[in-house]
């Protein structure tokens, strides 16, 4: 079966003290309450990466994630963070192509393709974000648009490398707005993306690919969204900053997904 994942995207929030307080609450809650089949990925801000792992060293279903990396491995790029640096701090997952990066930092599909390559070359998993604007959805081209994002940034990968990618479908109109996609909208897109992956890499790889939903996901709407057959978890922004809310999201999978092999 596909790996179920709930990833926290803390974005640019919290001080060191607040980050330590949140992680100290989340880790024991995940240990005691969340099914071991669910992998919880904490994508913390860069300065927290050095200490975050200490809080869950022996807990196999929690992993460390970063929110971005540079597309070159090293060099004179003042202020940037490389994939080899992240790997050397035990990072396992890196969010690539979040819509905020695309929108505020002008990241293009070409740059994202390079970033994905870097992450995989350093034995980590990209969490590749895709998703349409409200305007694109209203025009009716949203499925083609998101398929295109995958084609341009991911389909240069070999099948072996593609199998390491996690996809996060995050409609831009749902991010931080309180207007989540409905379960039907999420399922329709996830199914279309899985088919698109199958057309290039075959059914077996498509069926193994974890596709997360993100955008105003919370403990109330997660059970319905996670119940969709092609939704394998979530990428959680605002609601990941509250320990019990986040833990409840991690507990929102239907039983049949937890007992499947
Ligand atoms: P949100 O953010 O849960 O606050 O909508 C999700 C994301 O941007 O990853």
Q: Where are the domains of the chain?
A: 4-258
- Ligand 1 centroid vs 211 CA: distance in angstroms? 15
- pLDDT reading at 33 higher than 90: yes
- pLDDT reading at 58 higher than 90: no
**From the centroid of its chain, how far is CA 158?**
21
| pLDDT at res. 1 | 84
Q: How far apart are CA 87 and CA 168, in angstroms?
A: 21
Task: End-to-end CA distance of the chain: give it in Å, rounded.
Answer: 5
For residue 235, report the phi and psi dihedrals to the nearest 5 degrees.
-115, 115
**Is 4-258 assigned to CATH 3.20.20.70?**
yes
pTM: 0.98
Ligand 1 atom closest to residue 99's alpha carbon, by position in its atom list: 8
Of 253, 219, 251, 258, nearest in space to 236 by CA: 219
Q: How far apart are CA 60 and CA 8, in angstroms?
A: 16
- Ligand 1 centroid vs 75 CA: distance in angstroms? 32
Nearest CA to ligand 1 atom 1: 237
| pLDDT at res. 260 | 77
Q: Which residues are catalytic?
A: 98, 170
- pLDDT reading at 261 higher than 90: no
Nearest CA to ligand 1 atom 9: 237
| pLDDT at res. 41 | 98
Pocket of ligand 1 (CB under 6 A): 9, 170, 175-176, 214-217, 235-239
The three-state secondary structure class of 125 is strand
Mean residue pLDDT across the chain: 97
Ligand 1 atom closest to residue 168's alpha carbon, by position in its atom list: 9
- Ligand 1 centroid vs 131 CA: distance in angstroms? 12
Query: pLDDT digits over 177-229, tens only?
Result: 999 999 999 999 999 999 999 999 999 999 999 999 999 999 999 999 999 99
- Ligand 1 centroid vs 218 CA: distance in angstroms? 10
| pLDDT at res. 227 | 98
């Amino acid at each position: 079966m596909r790996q179920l994942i709930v990833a926290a995207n803390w974005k640019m929030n919290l001080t060191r003290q607040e980050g330590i307080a949140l992680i100290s609450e989340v880790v024991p809650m995940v240990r005691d309450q969340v099914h071991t089949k669910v992998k919880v990925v904490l994508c913390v801000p860069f300065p927290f990466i050095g200490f975050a792992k200490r809080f869950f060293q022996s807990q196999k279903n929690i992993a460390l994630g970063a929110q971005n990396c540079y597309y070159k491995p090293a060099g004179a790029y003042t202020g940037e963070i490389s994939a080899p640096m992240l790997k050397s701090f035990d990072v396992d997952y890196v969010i690539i192509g979040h819509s905020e990066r695309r929108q505020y930092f002008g990241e293009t599909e070409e740059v994202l393709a390079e970033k994905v390559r870097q992450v995989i070359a350093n034995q980590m998993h990209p969490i590749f974000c895709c998703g349409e604007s409200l305007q694109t959805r209203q025009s009716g081209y949203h499925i083609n648009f998101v398929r295109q994002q995958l084609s341009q940034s991911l389909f240069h990968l070999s099948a072996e490398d593609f199998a390491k990618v996690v996809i996060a479908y995050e409609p831009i109109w749902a991010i931080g707005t309180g207007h989540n996609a409905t379960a039907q909208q999420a399922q329709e897109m996830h199914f279309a993306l899985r088919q698109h992956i199958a057309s290039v890499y075959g059914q077996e790889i498509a069926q193994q690919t974890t596709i997360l939903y993100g955008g105003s996901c919370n403990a109330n709407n997660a059970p319905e969204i996670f119940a969709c057959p092609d939704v394998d978890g979530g990428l959680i922004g605002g609601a990941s900053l509250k320990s019990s809310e986040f833990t409840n999201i991690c507990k929102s999978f239907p039983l049949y997904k937890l007992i499947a092999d």
